[in-house]
Amino acid sequence: MSPDDIKKRIVNEIKARAYDDKYIDRNEEREIVLISAELGVTVESALAALNQVCDEFGYVLESRVQKQIEDQLATAAGNDGKIDRREFDLIFGNVKRAMAGKKPDRDIKKMIVRTMDDTGHNKVRTGWFSDWYAALKKELGV
């Protein structure tokens, strides 16, 4: 297979997975990398092609959004190691814009809460009589 044929095949695989929802989740990303590896393409080249195609066609790449959440949580927790409700809402707004309507608000909040738990940024600043984070987790069923 020529390099142009390989490139065309990878682009078609990406388009096929993002056709219906314009969203590439982690499983679809893994499938694309595996197909690329079978074609003799390095992981780095496959990921670069994936990023390029997503930028070109306006597809949302879940791993990119996940990285954005992790970076913003680290920044928000930076000074005192705690995240308050205002910071959470700011992160939510940024991620919602990045998602471009591909996921509902509830799923975005779940993604942020899971990331908070996974990265250890789950220490929150609470009010005197309320724990917004515990209430949010209960509401989301997380």
Which has more pLDDT, 95 or 45?
95
How many domains would you assign to the chain? 2
Same domain, 66 and 135: yes
- Whole-number pLDDT of residue 139: 92
Same domain, 18 and 48: yes
Alpha helices, H only, 39-130: 43-57, 62-76, 85-99, 105-119
pLDDT in tens, 55-99: 999 899 999 999 999 999 999 988 788 898 999 999 999 999 999
pLDDT at residue 128 above 80? no
Same domain, 46 and 86: no
pLDDT in tens, 9-22: 888 888 888 888 89
Same domain, 29 and 83: no
* Alpha-carbon span 117 to 123, nearest angstrom: 9
Same domain, 46 and 108: no
* Alpha-carbon span 19 to 24, nearest angstrom: 10
120 pLDDT tier (thresholds 50, 70, 90): confident
Spatial contact of 10 and 49, defined as CB atoms under 8 Å apart: yes
Q: Which among 103, 104, 95 has a CA at the least distance from the CA of 68?
A: 95
Mean pLDDT of the chain: 89
Same domain, 84 and 125: yes
- Whole-number pLDDT of residue 101: 87
Structure tokens at 28: 């679809």
- Whole-number pLDDT of residue 130: 80
pLDDT at residue 39 above 90? no
The domain boundary, picked from 13, 34, 58, lies at 58
Spatial contact of 65 and 25, defined as CB atoms under 8 Å apart: no
pTM of the predicted model, to two decimals? Answer: 0.84
Mean pLDDT, residues 46-51: 88
The domain boundary, picked from 13, 42, 58, lies at 58
Structure tokens at 74: 């680290």
Q: Range of 34's domain?
A: 3-58
